[in-house]
Amino acid sequence: MKDMEMHFYSTGQGAGTVYTINPRFLQGEIEKKVTDDKLTSVNVCRTVLALLQGAKLDKDEDYFVTTTSSGRRNYHINVNTRNLNRMSRML
């Protein structure tokens, strides 16, 4: 969340600011701090999706998901003040 806020402010809060979450990269960063057999990329994807849906962000308007040919997903969030506030309430 802090990284997303820094990205938002460094781009000048302009329209069209999109922040991409790569679950595989996020899993690697979490594994540096937490070791657990249940930490999988599938669980990371589910957690990210639960955050987005729990914050009541609208799919295709506030965020969208892309899938690679191998089935990996990336989550792209339109970053604006409203979406940041909604997401921060979830945390």
Q: For 87, left (φ over 0), alpha (ψ -120 to 50), or beta?
A: alpha
pLDDT at 2: 72
| C-alpha closest to that of 64 among 2, 20, 27 | 20
21 touches 48 (CB < 8 A): yes
**Of 12, 21, 8, 11, which is closest to residue 47 (Cα–Cα)?**
21
pLDDT reported for residue 14: 59
How far, in Å, CA of 71 to CA of 82, rounded?
Answer: 30
Res 15: pLDDT: 61
Structural domain boundaries of the chain?
Answer: 2-90
Q: Mean pLDDT per 10-residue run, the chain (91 residues)?
A: 70 72 92 88 92 93 91 90 87 77
